[in-house]
Structure 1
Amino acid sequence: MTPPLVISIQSQVVMGHVGNSAALFPLQAAGLEIAAIPTVVFSNTPHYPTLRGSALPAEFFADLLQGAWERGLPQRAEYVLTGYIGSVEVARLMADFVARAKAANPRLRYFCDPVMGDEAPGLYVPAAIAEVFKDSLLPLADFASPNPFEISWLTGQPIRALEDLPRAAKALRMAPGAHLIATGCVLADTMPGMLESVVLGPDGLSRHPTPRLPVSMVGTGDLFTALVLAGLARGRGLPPAVEFAQAQTSRALAEAARLGAKEVMLTDPEFRAALLTL
């Protein structure tokens, strides 16, 4: 049986685990075929004293997308996953690619991780890129995994309590029948010491609390989203896929803390073994 194909369009770094550099290993370990297309290629994340590399030039990025078409990848993929975008030109090319791919392949499901910002740093992409997420990419999305800051920026609605999320989900104008996974939520009634992922979709709403670890590391959201997609692509329902992703992301964070690393680590034996169970 041919493994499910995922087209993953995200950042890539030489050192560390963010974007595709966080997503590829868990997706492949789960038995999926991955076509990885970079939006930026950096030496490392911006959290170090120096940063080398750049966003892909739009013409180069468009050429890679054309190569994907010439190999028939959108026509046979089951999922397209998108994450961090380095320029507004690449964002627009990505939106066109996803729209064309969904038109060419009605089975294709689009998972949009609108990597835009967070509470502490605020918006860390240009507003023009965030607008492409809002106006072009999220309306195509079958699944999306924004955090509360991103939801609030995209909808103009603060996320403080559970009842804020259904209103905001409607304002995102996602594809018909889509599912929103609100990640990293600390709501008015969230238990102390916990974070929640809240899943909203046609079947209603479900809450998925997980212990809040005393660490904050780059790559956490990219890894979580890839693990959710791995669960979905291997036939799990969305709530079980979210809980699997929470458990394995916590393992990766704990391993990074044990090693004194600045970003998530994918080397924990139990983390790697769990991927094989999918």
Structure 2
Amino acid sequence: MEIRIDRSWILAMLRLMSILTIQSHVSYGHVGNAAAVFPLQRLGYEVWPVNTVLFSNHAGYPTVKGPVLPAQDVADVIQGIGERNVFSSCEAILSGYLGSVELGEVVLSAVKQVQEANNSALYCCDPVMGDRGKDIYVHPDIPDFIGREVLPKADILIPNHFELETLSGSSLTTTSDIVSATCKLIEVGPDVVIVTSVETSTDDPDTISMLAVSKDKVFKVQTPKLPFDIQPSGSGDLSAALYLAHYLKCKKVDQALAQMVASVYSLLHETLAMKSEEIVLVKAQDMISEPRFKFDVQELSVS
């Protein structure tokens, strides 16, 4: 009996499940693509990882080995994927740490190519620039490039509190400050801004929050602050990947926020319990799809 495979059906299925993620990669630990790819796959997505660096580990350790890939090499990999004629099946592009403006331009070129093939594809940008206690740790040209070139093209932007302050050019000490700053970013480009690691002067110091702001809605989720001596690297990369994964499935800002926070907190809780210096993505992988902890989403008034 002859078995015929309907190629259009296969492409339709792939269209629902494919994500192109352009980020750094480490062999030991979980940051960049090493934090994003497995959770996306665990949630059922076909993932096309394009690595921008091939490092032994993240820069928080005393030594780091491995190359930063030239922007042209990264562009060549993306071109090769495009030559498979699959960009029409790509549902989203995810980007993180940019080692140079040239690499940022490669990312934006990839976004353009994918969206020309599939105009419903979303671009989700994690604008990695720095964090509280670490300050800005990217090339000095990157913050301006993100604000000027990336922001208008992003559909979803996922900065941490520090990065939002960097993009807005001001200190944001209250929830109202944060909402106002995110609304100004939305006027420039993205439909949704997710702010992670939020700590304000009015919140309980033993808690930490995440905010989701769209054009007409503001949502907040608050969790206990886990007592890490040193926060594991990669939680921001993980958060961006999980938010994108859930948003693509439900298209609801608040629901995706709740699911992302539940998984990230549950994974970090397990990491603390296991006394691991790296997020325990594999050992605690059930927390990705079935998180142990869940938190209420509060809708805030927009003023």
Name the TM tier (shorter chain). over 0.9
**CA shift for structure 1 position 175:** 5.9
SS in 1 for 2:196: strand
Structure 2 CA distance for aligned equivalents of residues 175 and 67 of structure 1: 32
Of 225-234 and 76-85, more deviation after overlay is shown by 225-234
Trace 1:92-111 onto structure 2 (pairs within 5 A). Answer: 92-111=105-124
Residue identity matched to 1:25: F
Asked if residue 193 in structure 1 is aligned to residue 206 in structure 2, the reply is: yes
Alignment deviations for residues 87-128 of structure 1 (CA, whole Å, 9 cap, x no partner): 221112112222343344210111110011001010010121
Report the CA distance between 1:75 and its aligned residue: 2.4
Unmatched segments (≥5 aa) in structure 2 = 1-12, 292-303
Is 1:247 paired with 2:262?
A: yes
Task: Identify the residue that residue 5 of structure 1 maps to in structure 2.
Answer: 18
Quote the residue 2:81 is aligned against: 68
Q: Is the 8 A contact 2:158 2:194 kept in 1?
A: yes
Worse-superposed segment, 172-181 or 116-125: 172-181
Going from structure 1 to structure 2, the CA distance change for 1:175 and 1:39 (only over 3 Å counts) comes to: farther
TM-score (norm 2): 0.85
Quick one: which amino acid aligns to residue 41 of structure 2? Q
Partner residue in 1 for 2:224? 211
Cα contact 1:140–1:174 (8 A) shared by 2: no
Who is 1:181 aligned against?
194
Opposite residue 152 of structure 1, the aligned amino acid is E
**Is this contact kept in 1: 2:21–2:49, CA < 8 A?**
yes
Q: Which residue of 1 aligns with 2:238?
A: 223
SS in 1 for 2:141: helix
Q: Does 1:271 align with 2:287?
A: yes
Q: Secondary structure in 1 aligned to 2:67? A: strand
Normalising by structure 1, we get a TM-score of 0.92
Greater alpha carbon shift after TM alignment, 89-98 vs 140-149: 89-98
Name the CA distance, whole Å, in 2 between partners of 1:174 and 1:127: 25
Please name the residue that 1:259 is paired with.
274
Cα distance change of structure 1 residues 269 and 65 upon mapping to structure 2, 3 Å threshold: closer
Distance apart, 1:256 and its partner CA: 1.9
Query: How many equivalent pairs are there?
Result: 275
The superposition leaves residues 21-79 of structure 1 with CA deviations (integer Å, 9 ceiling, x where unpaired) of: 01111111111111111111101011222101122112211101211221234322111
**Where does 1:164-175 land on structure 2 (aligned, <5 Å)?**
164-172=177-185
Mapped pair 1:82 → 2:95: yes
The one-character-per-residue Cα deviations of 1:166-215 (angstroms, maximum 9, x if unpaired) are 33224435665610111111123223411111111123211111111112
Give the superposition deviation at 1:269. 5.5
**Residues in 1 aligned to 2:144 and 2:69: alpha-carbon distance in whole angstroms:** 20
- Residues 31-46 of structure 1: pairs in structure 2 closer than 5 A: 31-46=44-59
SS at match of 2:44: coil
Deviations 1:221-247 (A, max 9, x none): 111111111211222522121121112
Mapped to 1, the partners of 2:195 and 2:88 lie a distance apart of 29
Show the counterpart of 2:252. Answer: 237
Residue by residue over 1:117-142, the C-alpha shift from the partner in whole angstroms, topping out at 9 and shown as x without a partner, is 00101001012122221111121111
Change in Cα spacing, 1:236 to 1:107, as seen in structure 2 (3 Å) is: closer
Residues 241-250 or 171-180, more deviating? 171-180
8 Å contact kept, 2:20–2:94: yes
Distance 1:253 1:158 in 2: 28
> Contact 2:39–2:242 at 8 Å: present in 1 too?
yes
Uncovered stretches (5+) of structure 1, i.e. residues with no partner: none
The one-letter amino acid paired with 2:166 is W
- Report the secondary structure of 2:250's partner residue: coil
Residues 1:242 and 1:7: Cα distance change in structure 2 (over 3 Å): same
* Partner SS state of residue 21, structure 1: helix
Counterpart-to-counterpart distance in 2, 1:113 and 1:243: 18
Which residue identity is paired with 1:98?
V
Q: Distance in 1 between matches of 2:221 and 2:258?
A: 7
CA distance in 1, matches of 2:56, 2:88: 32
Distance between the aligned counterparts of 2:176 and 2:54, measured in 1? 39
Of residues 34, 37, 40, the one that matches 1:27 is 40
